[in-house]
Chain A
């Protein structure tokens, strides 16, 4: 890719994505709610599983995580109301993965050399929350790639070094405070 194009792409990355800190501040005092919805083995009906609330304090930093998951055939009930946070940062990580990035605003432009369209692929709208309580650890990966605020997130819960839920048998959707690049409102 030509240098000029690369520089313009780089400029687009910097100018179109709000700084992480600014976005985080907008999330102050809000709550992210993630729900895992399973299904009944025989009827296929929805079965609510984990409910995870991530309370955000000043600057949108996570201050408290509450996890509730009912007993299932495989797993004992999980209830942890205040978990120590291994990382409390809520911010958007935007990966500039390589020089092929041409546009992050969604506008399609053509590569002058190949004539092929270039696509938006570089934004990693993923928030990872790691929380711990004793030997119980919870990782919530809030994923906005395909289903914003919809199923597509991941909850992993470990007890000691053993996974009790990994990726989840259910679907996980998170809604609430997190605002993603491209969103119109808060």
Chain B
């Protein structure tokens, strides 16, 4: 590891020692710039964190196919409320929520981006100063951008890494991704968080869920995966399965009971609040699994920002993330 990286880690730990999480353990509290650190550096941060606490933890991988990031003490099927309470100060920080929301909105998810909004975004340093409006749109506009689908995977994978680091730093297991949509609307582990008043309403919801399962099957079909770029796969998933899952696992009322009891809202639909919802991490875990399916279909075993000529490595092409929260 480079000396500068060690210094940065030391600085980070100093910051983390200054704060204490709800579990009584020091956490990173979003002080790590995951976007600028290599996975090896991130593993080292967790290793040093373990050392400082004099704890010996065997750490391994949880999700993130195509990358090595052994920071998880285990890969838990559940997302406990204790873990969510640890995460919320970070993912619920206004700068984090704005980061995610701005990223979505600049891509034109709500309304297509116009030149004046782009200029404002540039002023706010959400996009590099050298980019033109046309360049940005042709690359990152949600409809048809040459990197927009791939970038959708990239951005949310980065968020998953941030969460894994935070959980690891607090001695908690990582969240395992869903490998499929839950078996039923009344699944024992992942029930849909709303009540169905009539048998017909329940039947209708089950049919909707079955539709999503079929759609996932279509998206995972080896023939389709072999024929599409990673960008196209992202473009197929984002407005369909991803969006449907966000709507389907939304609570009624839209803020979950746990959130309301604590005085905030974790509505799974608006981009301003969705990362606060536990389902967000399961849905994006599932979406992220499809990156692995695509890599396999194309003979890759690795995905990285820089492949440096490694043959079985796919190099990310859409890496714009807006302004990383500080």
| Interface residue ranges, A against B (CB under 8 Å) | 39, 41-44, 95, 97-98, 100, 108, 111, 113-114, 116-122, 143, 145-152, 154, 156, 163, 166-171
Q: In the complex, which residues of chain A have a beta carbon less than 8 angstroms from the beta carbon of B243? A: 146-147, 151-152, 171
In the complex, what distance in Å separates the CA atom of A156 from the CA atom of B211?
Answer: 11
In the complex, what distance in Å separates the CA atom of A170 from the CA atom of B240?
Answer: 6
Q: In the complex, which residues of chain B have a beta carbon less than 8 angstroms from the beta carbon of A95? A: 253
B221 in contact with A147 (CB, 8 Å): no
- How many A-B pairs with Cβ below 8 Å? 113
A166 in contact with B214 (CB, 8 Å): no
Q: In the complex, which residues of chain B have a beta carbon less than 8 angstroms from the beta carbon of A97? A: 253-255
Specify the chain B residue showing the minimal Cβ separation from A74.
B214
A119 in contact with B244 (CB, 8 Å): no
Q: In the complex, which residues of chain B have a beta carbon less than 8 angstroms from the beta carbon of A122? A: 254
Interface SS of chain A: loop
In the complex, what distance in Å separates the CA atom of A136 from the CA atom of B221?
Answer: 32
B228 in contact with A146 (CB, 8 Å): no
Q: A100-B255, A100-B263 are in contact. Are A44 and B232 (CB under 8 A)?
A: yes
CB of B273 within 8 A of chain A?
Answer: yes
Stretch in B15-23, B172-180, B264-272, B298-306 touching the partner:
B264-272
Q: A147-B243, A151-B240 are in contact. Are A44 and B269 (CB under 8 A)?
A: no
What's the least CB distance linking A38 to chain B, in Å?
9
Q: How many residues of B contact A (CB 8 A)?
A: 46
Q: In the complex, which residues of chain A have a beta carbon less than 8 angstroms from the beta carbon of B92? A: 116
Q: In the complex, which residues of chain A have a beta carbon less than 8 angstroms from the beta carbon of B132? A: none
Encode B226-238 as 1/0 by CB contact (under 8 A) with A.
0110001100100
Q: In the complex, which residues of chain B have a beta carbon less than 8 angstroms from the beta carbon of A166? A: 204, 207-208, 210-211
Q: A42-B227, A100-B265 are in contact. Are A148 and B221 (CB under 8 A)?
A: no
In the complex, what distance in Å separates the CA atom of A163 from the CA atom of B243?
Answer: 21
B109 in contact with A171 (CB, 8 Å): no
B94 in contact with A146 (CB, 8 Å): no
Q: In the complex, which residues of chain B have a beta carbon less than 8 angstroms from the beta carbon of A143? A: 247
Q: A120-B270, A169-B218 are in contact. Are A98 and B260 (CB under 8 A)?
A: yes
Q: In the complex, which residues of chain A have a beta carbon less than 8 angstroms from the beta carbon of B212? A: 167
- In the complex, besides A100-B265, A146-B271, A151-B239, 5 extra interface pairs with C-beta distance below 8 angstroms are A43-B228, A150-B142, A166-B207, A167-B208, A169-B214
B253 in contact with A44 (CB, 8 Å): no
What's the least CB distance linking A72 to chain B, in Å?
12
In the complex, what distance in Å separates the CA atom of A120 from the CA atom of B248?
Answer: 20
Q: In the complex, which residues of chain B have a beta carbon less than 8 angstroms from the beta carbon of A167? A: 208, 211-212, 244, 248
A150 in contact with B255 (CB, 8 Å): no
A119 in contact with B265 (CB, 8 Å): yes
User: Which are the 8 A-B pairs with shortest beta-carbon distances?
Assistant: A151-B239, A44-B228, A97-B253, A171-B239, A121-B267, A166-B207, A167-B208, A145-B269
B253 in contact with A149 (CB, 8 Å): no
Can you report 25 residue pairs joining A to B where beta carbons are below 8 Å apart?
A41-B223, A42-B224, A42-B227, A44-B228, A95-B253, A98-B253, A108-B94, A111-B263, A116-B263, A119-B264, A119-B267, A119-B273, A120-B272, A121-B273, A143-B247, A146-B109, A146-B110, A146-B271, A147-B239, A152-B247, A163-B207, A166-B208, A166-B211, A170-B240, A171-B240
B232 in contact with A146 (CB, 8 Å): no
In the complex, what distance in Å separates the CA atom of A41 from the CA atom of B227?
Answer: 10
B255 in contact with A147 (CB, 8 Å): no
What's the least CB distance linking B266 to chain A, in Å?
9
CB of B51 within 8 A of chain A?
Answer: no
A150 in contact with B109 (CB, 8 Å): yes
What's the least CB distance linking A53 to chain B, in Å?
21
Specify the chain B residue showing the minimal Cβ separation from A165.
B211
What's the least CB distance linking B35 to chain A, in Å?
23
What's the least CB distance linking A127 to chain B, in Å?
15
Q: In the complex, which residues of chain B have a beta carbon less than 8 angstroms from the beta carbon of A41? A: 218, 221, 223-224
What's the least CB distance linking A183 to chain B, in Å?
9
B270 in contact with A149 (CB, 8 Å): no
Q: In the complex, which residues of chain A have a beta carbon less than 8 angstroms from the beta carbon of B130? A: none
What's the least CB distance linking B264 to chain A, in Å?
6
What's the least CB distance linking A42 to chain B, in Å?
5
- From B94, B110, B263, give the contact of A148 (CB < 8 A): B110
In the complex, what distance in Å separates the CA atom of A145 from the CA atom of B273?
Answer: 12
In the complex, what distance in Å separates the CA atom of A43 from the CA atom of B218?
Answer: 11
Encode B250-282 as 1/0 by CB contact (under 8 A) with A.
000111000010011101011111000000000
Specify the chain B residue showing the minimal Cβ separation from A139.
B204
- From residue 185 to 236 of chain B, which have CB atoms closer than 8 A to chain A? 204, 207-208, 210-212, 214-215, 218, 221, 223-224, 227-228, 232-233, 236
